[in-house]
């Protein structure tokens, strides 16, 4: 199949009948897999080596954040071909549980619905939550109550009003910088950050039902699906959670779109 980028029109053109030298992505072949994350890992499409960063980023956003995905035949066929390719490589009936990250992207939900056409009686869904950078906030009231308004043993405030204001301004600047970043940059930064151990305590399940479902997992085979794999941060966190529950699960990972060298640090 062909996906090319029309520079003049600044849009992506899909052609599911032909392959060409100008393709920016290609469907992975039969039997294709990558040994990554300590488990068998597949992805549906890979970027061509010649695709530069701006075009790659633009295509990722086009795939992930098209509002009316259901009525976009190019993107739905794009997803279906990847899942069809996966079904030729693994038996979807062998999997008891599907795990996927929840995001504003509708791609994962569409992939899940299409997978149900192959193995609906045996698949269930559990969602872990992540947020776009623009939705990240800071609870200043709780921070002031817990830290900035602390008092010394003699009853005097620990911090002056000038010091408190300096902290507030620093936090405001930090949030502005976070909101300007894209999700993939933040995911990669968090993965390498020395502060990562402190962030782990804030990870949580989307609901009590998901937590109960996760606790019930013992020897079930699990299929993890995600729309795009870049740094591997999301998949690593899902695997970490599942490994706490059971070390013996047969886990297969599938991502709609990826590139080998972008996953090198996760292998």
List the Cα angle 206/136/69 in 5-degree steps.
65
Q: State how beta strands 39-47 and 251-258 pair.
A: parallel
Q: Which residues, 6+ apart, have CB-to-CB distance to 172 below 8 Å?
A: none
76-100: average pLDDT: 85
Percent of the chain with pLDDT over 70: 69
159-186: average pLDDT: 85
At 60-73, the pLDDT tens digits run: 888 888 888 888 99
pLDDT of residue 44: 85
- Output the CA torsion 21→25→29→34 (10° steps): 130
Residue 208, phi-psi category: left (phi > 0), alpha (psi -120 to 50), beta (remainder): alpha
Q: If you write DSSP's letter for every residue of 38-74 in order, what string do you get?
A: TEEEEEEEEE-TT--HHHHHHHHHHHH--TTGGG-HH
At 196-231, the pLDDT tens digits run: 665 555 556 667 777 776 666 666 778 888 888 776
User: What phi and psi, each to the nearest 5 degrees, are found at residue 158?
Assistant: -70, -35
Q: With 0-12 CB in 10 A as exposed, 13-18 as middle and 19+ as buried, what is 18? A: exposed
At 112-156, the pLDDT tens digits run: 888 887 766 455 555 555 556 777 788 888 888 888 999 898 889
Q: How remote is the C-alpha of 63 from its chain's centroid? A: 13
pLDDT band at residue 159 using 50, 70 and 90 as cut-offs: very high
pLDDT band at residue 163 using 50, 70 and 90 as cut-offs: very high
Q: With 0-12 CB in 10 A as exposed, 13-18 as middle and 19+ as buried, what is 63? A: buried
**C-alpha to C-alpha distance for 256 and 111, rounded to whole angstroms:** 9
Report the chain's mean pLDDT, rounded to a whole number.
76
79-84: average pLDDT: 90
Q: Which residues, 6+ apart, have CB-to-CB distance to 30 below 8 Å?
A: 85, 88, 89
């Amino acid at each position: 199949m062909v996906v090319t980028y029309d520079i003049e029109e600044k849009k992506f053109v899909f052609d599911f009948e032909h392959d060409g030298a100008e393709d920016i992505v290609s469907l992975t072949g039969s039997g294709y897999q990558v040994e990554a994350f300590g488990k068998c890992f597949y992805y549906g499409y890979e970027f061509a080596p010649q695709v530069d960063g701006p075009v790659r980023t633009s295509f990722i956003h086009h795939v992930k954040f098209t509002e009316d995905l259901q009525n976009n035949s190019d993107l739905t066929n794009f997803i279906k071909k990847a899942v069809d390719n996966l079904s030729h490589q693994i038996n979807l009936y062998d999997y008891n549980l599907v795990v996927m990250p929840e995001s504003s992207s509708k791609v994962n939900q569409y992939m899940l619905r299409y997978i149900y056409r192959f193995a609906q009686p045996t698949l269930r869904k559990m969602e872990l939550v992540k947020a776009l950078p623009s939705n990240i906030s800071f609870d200043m009231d709780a921070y002031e109550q817990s830290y900035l308004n602390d008092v010394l043993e003699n009853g005097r405030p620990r911090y002056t009003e000038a010091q408190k204001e300096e902290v507030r301004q620093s936090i405001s600047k930090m949030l502005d910088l976070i909101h300007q970043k894209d999700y993939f940059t933040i995911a990669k930064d968090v993965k390498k950050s020395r502060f990562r151990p402190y962030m782990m305590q804030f990870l949580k399940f989307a609901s009590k039902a998901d937590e109960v479902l996760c606790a019930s997992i013992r020897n079930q085979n699990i299929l993890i699906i995600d729309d795009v794999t870049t740094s591997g941060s999301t998949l690593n966190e899902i695997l970490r959670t599942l490994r706490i529950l059971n070390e013996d699960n047969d886990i297969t990972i599938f991502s709609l779109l990826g590139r080998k060298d972008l996953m090198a640090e996760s292998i």
